[in-house]
Amino acid sequence: MDLIRLSPLQRVVRLVLIVLALLFTILPLLWIFSIALRPGSQAIFPISVVPSSLTLDNIYAVLFGPNAIGLTPYQNAAVYGITAAVTTAVAASLGGYALARYDLKAGQAVLIVILALSFLPAASRIVPLFILLSSSGHYGDPLFVILAYAAGSTPLGIWLMAGTFRQIPIRLEQAARIDGASAFLTMRRVVLPLAIPGILVVATLAFIDGWNAYSLPLILIPKDTAQPYTVALQAYIREVGFGNNWSLLSAGSLVGLVPVLAVFALLQRRLVRVGGLGSAIRG
Amino acid sequence: MLRRVLARATPWLLLIAPLLLLFLFLLLPYLLTFYYSTTAATIGRLSNVGFVGLANFEAVLASRNPPFPGVVIVTATFTAGTLAGSLVLGTVLALALYTVPAGRRSALLAVYLVPWVIAGVVIGYTWKLMYDPEIGLANTLLGSVGIGPITWLSDKATSIAALVTANVWAGYGIVLLVISAALANVPPNLILAGQVDGASVTRVIRRIILPAIRPAFLLAALVALVGGLNTFDLIYAMTKGGPLYQTETMALEMYRLTALKGSIGQGAAVTVILFSLSLVLAVVYVVLWRRENRKWT
């Protein structure tokens, strides 16, 4: 028996709500895809809702054409994402293991402070990081920007990894040690393989943050060639009046969307769970 | 003896790297910001800067172009709109999904959550395109029913509402998730008891379900609140705070003062104001989060 029995009218209301929310969520994405994939000659006023033909010309133009931003900004974003993912996974595993296996009163207190700080989104860190990197002479160094993003993803990561390690029975570790395995071998052959699903989620979240990085590179990386696609796409925005190059801007955004959507599709079940548990400690 | 010392030190050895990362890139930058908010530092001059007390804060509060109260009003309107929009949409949708079978529900949740993983700036470009006066979907659909072109982002009457809509699109998924998770933990017996006693569905929702999820509701409200307060990428991509500062929030102001005007001191002052507001919310958040987290894990 259903927990709540709905009248036919209530069922209709429910269906309408679900469908309207789906349209609200999907239509903007479909629209930018449709502009990206239709010929430029069809992306002008008056515009038809459904394009009469589809083409990959705009994608090609963004990557290789005369007005291209090229492959470099996407490679830079990939470096941001992957480096941030690896750094976060390592830091979160170390911290998570320490909190899961040892009873640390002081550690908990420190983590609470960090959790509070990490709740502050990237925007509020723009000026502080600008000051930090300028005053320490690292202004313009992508590595420090990446580490800043990794630091932002680490607190939630530590929390998730602590939960992952707690679920691995400590008896398994003790058994391996009794059989003569070193601490390192126990880690590598027993604990880490079991923690892989958790590590994957933490790394994925950090990758998404790094790949999507915008505000920090915008202000901290002056060099064009070191900027990610998010910043490079601004080339297609006209500051004053009309005349944005929407075909290329849409195509460039589409290329940037593909990796995160793919990663999300692969891991959505786990990510949805994490989203509920961690409730968006991301900025 | 050595073994015991080593055993006690192990967790701290493990924590060195993560704590160092967090200290250097989360805590230290904020400490520096508090320091620099009391100095006359500029982009060209960061060392040997003079102490100026609260002069930066006075300068920010007294600034005429744009007037600071105007920035505060824009920030408050944008934040309140984001909060109300994502809470209402997220909660109503979570309630609608509550009676959907679990398998279909998680598939739907995944779709609603897609904007969560998209870069804020790409969300900005997407909605800038939606609102484009000539080829935007908004005007195309309105035009087909005979409503003339609207310049959504350059018109004072519509620009903030347009930004709020985009930000709700970006953020309501997380509210939906938090509320859905809380709904799943409402004891079924409570609801069954209500039904047996003859309460209508709306009455069950109002009297049993909503009170039971109140802590999660507060949590989601805080997430939306701080998210709204600190939105930068999306507004910067869509309007850059313009035209004529009418969409400039405090988050954009601190960027403009620092990067464009070059006044580190004043940028830091705005950051300190925004940080203090967010920190109060963050402390409340952590307290609530720990209480909720205990229930869910």
Phi, psi of A147 (to 5 degrees): -60, -35
Closest chain A residue to the Cα of B273, Cα to Cα: A124
Verify whether the Cβ–Cβ distance B114 to A29 is below 8 Å.
yes
Indicate if the pLDDT at residue A283 is higher than 50. no
Rounded distance between C-alpha atoms, residue A93 and residue A175, angstroms = 21
Which of these, B29, B28, B63, B35, lies nearest to B49 by C-alpha position?
Answer: B35
- E strand or H helix at B173: helix B156-184
Neighbours of A134 (CB within 10 A): 18
pLDDT bin (cut points 50, 70, 90) of residue A26 is very high
Verify whether the Cβ–Cβ distance A112 to B286 is below 8 Å.
yes
Averaged pLDDT for residues A119-147 = 82
Averaged pLDDT for residues B189-196 = 83
As a residue count, chain B comes to 297
Which of these, B258, B211, B262, B214, lies nearest to B232 by C-alpha position?
Answer: B258
Verify whether the Cβ–Cβ distance B226 to A94 is below 8 Å.
no
Q: B199 with B207: CB under 8 angstroms?
A: yes
Neighbours of A279 (CB within 10 A): 26
The shortest CB-CB distance from A21 to any of B93, B116, B275 is to B93
As a residue count, chain A comes to 283
- Indicate the pTM of the whole model: 0.87
What does the pLDDT look like over B10-63, one tens digit per residue?
A: 888 888 888 899 888 888 888 888 888 888 888 777 777 778 888 889 888 888
Q: What residues form DSSP beta bridges with B51?
A: B39
One-letter identity of residue A150: A
What contacts A72, CB < 8 A, 6 or more positions away?
A225
If you search the block for the tokens 């979570």, which residue do you land on?
B94
Task: Return the higher-pLDDT residue of A84 and A5.
Answer: A84
Verify whether the Cβ–Cβ distance B223 to A21 is below 8 Å.
no
What contacts A21, CB < 8 A, 6 or more positions away?
B89, B93, B112
Phi, psi of A242 (to 5 degrees): -90, -175
Closest chain A residue to the Cα of B120, Cα to Cα: A212
Size of interface A-B (CB pairs under 8 A): 309
Phi, psi of B231 (to 5 degrees): -65, 125
Indicate if the pLDDT at residue A197 is higher than 90. no
- E strand or H helix at B188: helix B188-196
What does the pLDDT look like over A114-126, one tens digit per residue?
A: 667 666 666 778 8
Indicate if the pLDDT at residue B201 is higher than 90. no
| pLDDT at site A47 | 78
Q: Which two tokens stand for residue B2?
A: 């050595």
The shortest CB-CB distance from B178 to any of A208, A230, A276 is to A276
The shortest CB-CB distance from B99 to any of A6, A121, A246 is to A6
Indicate if the pLDDT at residue B297 is higher than 80. no
Q: Which two tokens stand for residue B109?
A: 């949740």
| pLDDT at site A107 | 67
Closest chain B residue to the Cα of A114, Cα to Cα: B22
pLDDT bin (cut points 50, 70, 90) of residue B127 is very high
The shortest CB-CB distance from A124 to any of B201, B220, B230 is to B230
Q: What residues form DSSP beta bridges with B39?
A: B51
Q: Measured between beta carbons, which residues in chain A are less than 8 angstroms from residue B279?
A: 116, 120
Indicate if the pLDDT at residue A279 is higher than 60. no
Task: Return the higher-pLDDT residue of A61 and A262.
Answer: A262
Is A174 part of the contact surface with chain B (CB cutoff 8 Å)? no
Averaged pLDDT for residues B68-85 = 92
